[in-house]
A and B are shown apart, each in its own frame.
Chain A
């Protein structure tokens, strides 16, 4: 079985093709990189329009197949930025209708988790999903990924990007796999910052404000970066540890773009070691947004008969992880 998957929730327009062996046959991507500031949704969407045909044909070419031999077309319908989502959805609907292929609706968050599980071999993990738009601790219970903790305000990746931008050290946010905040934290010393854990939830907006205030009152840049990072990462590891303890899970799986931060991974390694649990980290290449994860999750869904009529395949900007039924 071959499934083609389309990702376009934020800054990446990706087309992946997978088979059920499982094998990754194609992984084509276009990344929108803003010149200044963060993602401008309309600009991102416009750049997707001009790059979508190229990315699609590149995927088919590298897989060495024609679109006719695909069994289903999967698409990330949410959560994400509306203008960006609509490009992927439009391309997918067109392919499904024109080539008479079943259309499979995929939740982007579920896809991050499923590709992580497939690539790492994690079986029943506590999932820590961390990216620019998400900070979620979840686990599969009763047919859904239940959310055990999440950020009460901004996501960890959003916090890191915004702080880096306000400190004047980004964009670019990530260079050679290292985030600007991690880079600037080198040689920093700890100064006190607000550490917020509310039950199983984290919060980063107060930390962002405090870090900027401390910087503007004359603290050294590296100390601000170091302290803000330490507090942000540590509070995440703490809520993950709480989740492990509450659920009695023996595995942790890190998914999402921020899982590429090796400083964060190091903290999780320390915790996993003394708690004697297995830590699985999605390889950075597939931890960030990509079409392969949509194709793979689409394949799982399609095997369980989940499809959507093209005329009903609306995008859902706020499609929550815990509202999706998981059949496998």
Chain B
């Protein structure tokens, strides 16, 4: 909490997420976002401390690594892993979740294509986002797309970690954007394939299918078991 009081200013809480409190304020003269991971009283303290410390450190490290790779993610200004605090650059814009219904088809398609480009750059660098929801995609006023909330991101150990990202995207499109899910995914895939290339994209999509089939109660799985 030291960093919070250091600024000497009142922070404005903008979002109380499932995992963290996100506030806006000034940090060393920059307009900044303060992300403070909250203790979860339903977790035993040892487990809770470890999760908060590990996720804060990983998030900060990955944000730095991704900036180096040229992926549009917020710049890190300050980190305190014990308190679970990361101070980062403020990205101005709206989330795709909130903007989707007010965007035209073309605008939404273009935004999803940019999501595809950013996620592919991230994947090319061997990083999995881990929480690909449309609430974590910020569309700026200049129509750039930033991927935010790297709270569950990690260095991918294999293709599967990357495929899980795509699987999560499909899941969120099916649930929160079911009316336009196919179109949105198609546009995403356009940008994604452009950066990652045909072969890798195809391999990842095959893995996505595999993940889906591994889930519970999947109709397609019955077909597979018939042929083998």
Tell whether, in the assembled complex, residue B18 and residue A245 are in contact, meaning their CB atoms are under 8 Å apart.
Answer: yes
- A286 close to B (CB within 8 Å): no
> Is the CB–CB distance between B175 and A147 below 8 Å?
yes
Residue of B nearest to A107 (CB): B217
A231 in contact with B47 (CB, 8 Å): yes
Contact A270 B175 (CB under 8 A): no
Bound Cα distance from A133 to B43, whole angstroms: 25
| Chain B residues within 8 Å of A139, by CB | 175
A12 at the interface (CB under 8 A from B): no
Chain B residue numbers with a CB within 8 Å of A321 are 217
Q: Are A234 and B168 in touch, CB under 8 angstroms?
A: no
Q: Pick the contact of B42 from A136, A142, A267 — CB < 8 Å?
A: A267
Q: A305–B219 Cα gap in the complex (Å)?
A: 25
Q: Do B42 and A320 touch across chains, with their CB atoms under 8 A apart?
A: no
B164 — which chain A residues lie within 8 A by C-beta?
Answer: 152, 198-199
B222's closest neighbor in chain A, by CB?
A318
Size range of the interface on A? Answer: 35 or more
Residues of A within 8 A of B (CB): 78-79, 133-136, 139, 141-142, 146-153, 155, 190, 192, 195, 197-201, 230-231, 233-234, 237-238, 241-242, 244-246, 267-268, 270-271, 274, 316-323
Is residue B132 contacting chain A, with contact meaning CB distance below 8 A?
A: yes
B130 proximal to A (CB < 8 A)? yes
Q: Is the CB of B193 closer than 8 A to any CB of chain A? A: no
B216→A151 contact, CB < 8 A: yes
> Chain B 192-228 against A: per-residue CB contact (8 Å), 1 yes, 0 no?
0000000000000000000100111111011000000
Closest beta carbon of chain B to A152's beta carbon, Å:
7
28 A-B pairs (CB sep. < 8 Å) = A141-B175, A142-B179, A148-B171, A152-B214, A195-B47, A199-B131, A199-B168, A200-B168, A200-B172, A201-B171, A233-B42, A234-B42, A237-B42, A238-B19, A242-B18, A246-B135, A246-B176, A268-B42, A270-B41, A271-B42, A316-B219, A318-B216, A318-B217, A318-B218, A318-B221, A318-B222, A319-B217, A323-B219
Q: What is the bound-complex CA distance between A151 and B44, given in angstroms?
A: 22
List chain B residues, Cβ under 8 A from A198.
Answer: 130, 152, 164, 168
A245-B175 in contact (CB<8A): no
Q: Is the CB of B219 within 8 A of A320?
A: yes
Contacts of B40 in A (CB 8 A): 234, 237-238, 271
B216 x A244 contact (CB < 8 A):
no
User: Of the candidates B16, B41, B172, B211, which one forms a contact with A152 in the assembled complex, judged by CB atoms under 8 Å apart?
Assistant: B211
| B175 proximity list for chain A (CB < 8 A) | 139, 141, 146-148
Determine the distance from Cα of A198 to Cα of B152 in the docked complex, in whole angstroms: 7
Q: Is the CB of A317 within 8 A of B222?
A: yes
What is the bound-complex CA distance between A323 and B24, given in angstroms? Answer: 41
Residues of A within 8 A of B176 (CB): 141, 246
Q: Which of B42, B50, B179, B218 has the most CB of A within 10 A?
A: B42
Closest CB in chain B relative to A9 CB, distance in Å: 11
B174 at the interface (CB under 8 A from A): yes
Q: Which residues of A contact B133 (CB under 8 A)?
A: 199-200, 246
Nearest B-chain residue to A144, judged by Cβ: B178
Q: What A residues does B131 contact at CB under 8 A?
A: 199
Q: Does B106 contact A (CB under 8 A)?
A: no
